[in-house]
Structure 1
Amino acid sequence: MAVYESVTDAIGQTPLFRLTRLGEGIAAPVYAKAEFLNIGGSVKDRAARSMILAAERDGHLRPGGTIIEATSGNTGIGLTIVGRQRGYRVIACVSDRSAPEKSDILRAYGAEVVLAPTTLPAEHPDHLFNVVRRLTEEIPGAWLANQYDNPANPEAHVHTTGPEIWEQTGGRITHFVAGVGTGGTISGTGGYLKKVSGSAVTVVGADPEASTYGGGDGSPWFVESIGHFVHPETVEDLWPESYHRDVVDAFERIPDRESLLTARRLAREEGLLAGPSSGTAVAAALRVARRLGPDDLVVVLLPDSGRSYLSKLFNDDWMRAWGFLEEPRTPQDDEPTVRTVLRTHQLVTVPSDASLADALAVLRTAPGGVAPVVVARPARPYGVVAGEIVGSLSAAAVESAIAAGRARPGDPVTGELAAPLPTVGVGQPLSSAHGALGTEHDAALVLLDGRAVSLVHRAELDPAAAGGGR
């Protein structure tokens, strides 16, 4: 057994596991590289060590310095483990959309955690990336790791992950599948595998359906740490320099539900407790493998541990509340769910850049005269993402404000916004959904796969009125 002088020496050399159950009936074998077995629980340990060593070598990080990074959690954890081992202060600026477990883990390792939003225009001063730049300028001796544009990020995988996979498969690998976040993992690993194989290895990016990497509209999704989000008010959309587009041969675009349910299957059927982006990658790898034969060999990279997502992905209540889970809670459960009262007509919404006059025209067609106000986007091919609902309006309230002279028809709707309507998941029992209304609202938005698809009223959510049976 290996003996190490430091935990950082144990980064890398992660095993491959064949997916025998999820890959049942598929001719091409699919092997998963378990990066969650790195000391910090993710593939980002490799990039963290590489970036710190390069910064020390180049004189950007000196004794007593401070490491700063914008992170969804994993890179921050890796930087904290390596950085604290080497005597540095670490400040991890974490996306407010990240699972809370990641912030807890960061603090446990000794990082200072700053939460900041990412669902803002890139130019907004409070955007996560601008917060870290400001901190770097203000703190003497600070070094911004900047995994998105740091060449030491993909280089880590050129020197470690790629060679490991090539050796582990005896050079038999024909397809490499991984998610694309900063792009470092797929660019470095894929680039190495292409070079060593004479371009025989096909590199496939696993991407959330809405991510712009694979051709989506850039609206939010629910799988952390991969994909590329674009706020509609962003002036210049910059892609990471760590992502080398020429390395990726094709994309498999995976809906959130498929990603999340595949990750849950990984744990229950393969014994691999991995995060939601692993679900995205495995779902993509299985699609690829189904098109191949027994002489092919697919390797899919599992980026991080599912232990960081126990409050989300592996929490049945969370999955139901966001509309990702619909199966009965127990085999004996026959309580009606929101699905049984789901309306089939199109959801009526008001764009956030509308005038009150335009909003009234919309509201008069909405059931009950109530509708959500959503971030304005040119097109919404994937529906209304819950994260882009900014408030609600009622026809009665708007008409009252205009009649009283508090507002004019040409005024923007943003001046009259009421609180967002509560949300209920399509698979929630009616009893818990009815309770979500509280006392302030008479209607709720129904979420299917994290996106609002309909509106239901209090009477429809009353379990007694709905009767028994599913």
Structure 2
Amino acid sequence: MKYANNILETIGNTPMVKLNKITSEIDALVLAKVEYFNPGHSCKDRMALKMVEDAEADGRLKPGGTIIEGTSGNTGMGLALAAIVKGYKLICVITDKQSKEKMDILRAVGAKVVICPTDVEPNDPRSYYSVSKRLAEETPNSWYVNQYDNLSNTQANYEQTGPEIWEQTDGKVTHFIVGVGTGGTISGVAKFLKEKNPNIKIWGVDTYGSVFKKYKETGIFDENEVYSYVTEGIGEDILPQNVNFDLIDGFTKVTDKDAAVYTRKLALEEGLFVGMSSGSAIKGLLQLKDEFGPDDVVVVLFHDSGSRYVGKIFNDDWMRDRGYLEDEITKAEDLIKEHIDKPLVVVRTEELVSHAIDRMRKHKISQIPVIDVNGFVGSVDETDLFQSYVADKNVADKPIREVMGAAFPIVKLGTPVEEVSKLINKDNQAVLVDLGNGKHHIITKHDIINSIK
């Protein structure tokens, strides 16, 4: 009989899959190391188990103890599997930008989940780094994993992932590309592969809002590079000890939008249902296509499963809210389709300025068409009202007709976006769309900006 004694024995030996359609313009053999075949559905199972076993061996983790770690979700899942099999408790500290699926999965496998804000400095007491350390200090018989600086992370990939890639490519791999977060995967694989063949090129994929690329190229840790981003699992606002920059030949950066779009492309074009960092990885590979030749064997690692991003990347509303969906916007009708069901807010010439201000505040808008019995006769916007207030503090009690500007231009549903854009300028803040049957809707500068891809 062939069976594993427990789930931990099934970690590793993930398949290598040739990419076809999405890499059709690359003149090289491109292979994906698909890590969601691990039992915890990510590459982090490897290093999680290694870190636990090394901590057991040197006494840092004692029987019945509590494992504590800050995680974007995947390391937490790997630690949870180890904790279940080996009899430990687990506390996972996670940021609020991580997907709900990750949080729910961690709870499902017995972890206590502590959620921290994303947009704080690493040394802020509310950050998930700081909270993890504090919990470890306060919890008896606990062990703080610290995957960023725990070099067992790199060692796991040196012992497992690197050798698997070498064997699966029969030693013919020429390039290895992977998203970089803690740095354990890229550094461990790079160390092994370069020992086998120093000419193998190692490329890290970074995200905008992270410090890795600039630090590699200049040696400067630029805090101006650090800002919030959507992509999960890669990029950092710190320099983890597991990132061995000497072994990395270079970095390429990928936007949040491209990461999301290419994650979907992998599912639709290759049948690979992967997570957002894998979208970053394949887009990074495509950006590096000039580095590859016809005899090259390029390996890209896909970190985790798309099942953890169903409510995000694979949710049309989430994608559309962030402008990630590639909807074609060519005419006025396209600009208003997301809010066409909302009624047009108007104000009458004889109403008071205070009425317009109340309406702006209630509906959170910046401009309003003005009407009388004959139709549209003017407009007011917050700039007009502010200037009127500066000139006369009693303006709130004046009728709208005394402060209104020119009426907004009116266009048809089929008017090209380019023509609509030209009508919006510093003197004219909006355009009205004729819907027919005496109904109209409004296009603002905000709608035009949201249409930019």
TM-score (norm 1): 0.70
The CA deviation at 1:34 is 0.3
- Find the aligned partners of 1:73 and 1:114 in 2 and give their Cα distance: 12
CA, structure 1 residues 338+168, in 2 after alignment: closer, same or farther (shift >3 Å)? farther
- Find the aligned partners of 2:190 and 2:79 in 1 and give their Cα distance: 23
- Find the aligned partners of 1:186 and 1:461 in 2 and give their Cα distance: 53
Query: 2:100 matched to which residue of 1?
Result: 100
Q: Decide which structure has the larger Cα Rg and report it.
A: 2
Correspondence list, 1:9-408, <5 A? 9-197=9-197, 199-215=198-214, 217-229=225-237, 238-327=238-327, 336-337=334-335, 368=366
Aligned residues with identical type, % of pairs: 41
Deviations 1:89-128 (A, max 9, x none): 0011111110010010001111111111231122221111
8 Å Cα contact 1:157-1:189 kept in structure 2 = yes
8 Å Cα contact 2:332-2:433 kept in structure 1 = no
Partner SS state of residue 124, structure 1: coil
The CA deviation at 1:27 is 1.5
CA, structure 1 residues 466+304, in 2 after alignment: closer, same or farther (shift >3 Å)? same
- Say which is worse superposed, 109-118 or 304-313, in terms of deviation: 109-118
Partner SS state of residue 300, structure 1: strand
The CA deviation at 1:328 is 5.9
8 Å Cα contact 1:178-1:206 kept in structure 2 = yes
Q: Which amino acid aligns with 2:142?
A: A
Unaligned segments of structure 1, at least 5 residues: 230-237, 342-366, 370-392, 405-429, 431-455
Unaligned segments of structure 2, at least 5 residues: 215-223, 340-364, 368-381, 394-412, 414-427, 444-450
- Say which is worse superposed, 217-226 or 303-312, in terms of deviation: 217-226
CA, structure 1 residues 368+70, in 2 after alignment: closer, same or farther (shift >3 Å)? same
8 Å Cα contact 1:46-1:156 kept in structure 2 = yes
8 Å Cα contact 1:148-1:240 kept in structure 2 = yes
8 Å Cα contact 1:84-1:90 kept in structure 2 = no
CA, structure 1 residues 130+6, in 2 after alignment: closer, same or farther (shift >3 Å)? same
8 Å Cα contact 1:48-1:153 kept in structure 2 = yes
- Find the aligned partners of 1:194 and 1:315 in 2 and give their Cα distance: 40
8 Å Cα contact 1:28-1:290 kept in structure 2 = no
TM-score (norm 2): 0.73
Partner SS state of residue 219, structure 1: coil
- Find the aligned partners of 2:2 and 2:30 in 1 and give their Cα distance: 28
8 Å Cα contact 1:118-1:127 kept in structure 2 = yes
The CA deviation at 1:287 is 2.8
- Find the aligned partners of 1:43 and 1:239 in 2 and give their Cα distance: 20
